[in-house]
């Protein structure tokens, strides 16, 4: 069974970690998500750390449920604005639309994710293998329900996450090919996404919320882990 976990990595585009039967099988980096998935070949599931399903009004139930589980790591997950806010071309208009539909404005930091969010959403709509994940939920599950005590950009946080992956059978090599120049936290997040992708392919992954809302396209608005 082959799966792919993906995380956005700034100007480098996207980093992917591929697993075969739950074990590390390679790393890929590509400017375009569609191209990265194509290069991964015939995988059974693709898990992407990026919001995919969008609601029409209010905040997504998936994000509110995830924040409740993440505890000290709840700030690693941002609330996702409704669909029409992302259709705006400029930040001010998007923030105004978000205020109208949720009661709060969209932040500049969240708006900066728009190009990759729309890119990932297009892949999700076109490919039924694609699922939304959040690595901190994956790491929490790897640690038997305990959110990581240290942030992912810290020394202790990265060592903890790498150890959790290794205990689950995902041993990341010291030399990781195309991903050698990708920030460490992005590689670890992609690996955690791959762990969740493997669970999705097996049919053992959990979802938030248990009964998902529906996107305008009829797809479930959920986070898998």
Whether the CB-CB separation of 219 and 35 falls below 8 Å is answered with: no
Task: Please tell me whether residues 110 and 138 are part of one structural domain.
Answer: no
Which positions ≥6 away from 106 have C-beta within 8 Å?
81, 85, 91, 94, 95, 97, 98, 99
What is the 8-class DSSP label of residue 168? T
Residue 106 structural domain: 61-120+210-220
Task: Please tell me whether residues 47 and 113 are part of one structural domain.
Answer: no
pLDDT for res 96: 97
Please name which of 190, 137, 191, 185 lies closest in space to residue 157, comparing C-alpha atoms: 185
Task: Please tell me whether residues 145 and 187 are part of one structural domain.
Answer: yes
For residue 140, how many other CB atoms are within 10 A of its CB? 22
pLDDT for res 82: 98
pLDDT for res 183: 97
pLDDT for res 202: 98
pLDDT for res 209: 97
Task: Please tell me whether residues 47 and 131 are part of one structural domain.
Answer: yes
Report the alpha-carbon distance of residue 168 to residue 160 in Å, rounded: 13
pLDDT for res 138: 98
pLDDT for res 85: 98
Average pLDDT per consecutive 10 residues, the chain (225 residues; last block may be shorter): 97 97 98 98 97 98 97 92 97 97 95 97 96 98 96 97 98 96 97 98 97 95 98
Task: Please tell me whether residues 47 and 132 are part of one structural domain.
Answer: yes
Confidence (pTM): 0.96
How many domains does the chain contain in total?
2
Which positions ≥6 away from 32 have C-beta within 8 Å?
13, 14, 119
């Amino acid at each position: 069974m082959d799966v792919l976990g993906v995380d956005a990595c700034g100007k480098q585009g996207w980093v992917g970690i591929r697993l075969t039967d739950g074990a590390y099988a390679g790393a890929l980096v590509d400017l375009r998500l569609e191209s990265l998935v194509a290069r991964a070949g015939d995988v059974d599931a693709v898990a992407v750390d990026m919001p995919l399903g969008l609601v029409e009004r209010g905040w997504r139930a998936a994000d509110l449920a995830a924040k409740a589980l993440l505890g000290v790591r709840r700030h690693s997950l941002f609330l996702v604005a409704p669909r029409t806010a992302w259709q705006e071309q400029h930040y001010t208009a998007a923030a105004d639309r978000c205020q109208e539909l949720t009661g709060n404005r969209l932040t500049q930091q969240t708006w900066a994710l728009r190009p990759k969010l729309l890119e990932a959403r297009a892949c999700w709509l076109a490919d039924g293998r694609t699922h939304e994940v959040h690595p901190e939920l994956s790491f929490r599950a790897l640690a038997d329900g305990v959110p990581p005590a240290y942030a992912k950009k810290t020394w202790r946080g990265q060592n903890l996450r790498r150890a959790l992956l290794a205990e689950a059978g995902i041993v990341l090599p010291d030399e990781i090919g195309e991903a050698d120049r990708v920030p460490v936290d992005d590689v670890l997040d992609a690996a955690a996404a791959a762990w969740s992708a493997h669970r999705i392919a097996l049919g053992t992954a959990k979802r938030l919320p248990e009964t998902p809302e529906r996107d305008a396209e009829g797809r479930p608005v959920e986070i898998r882990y």
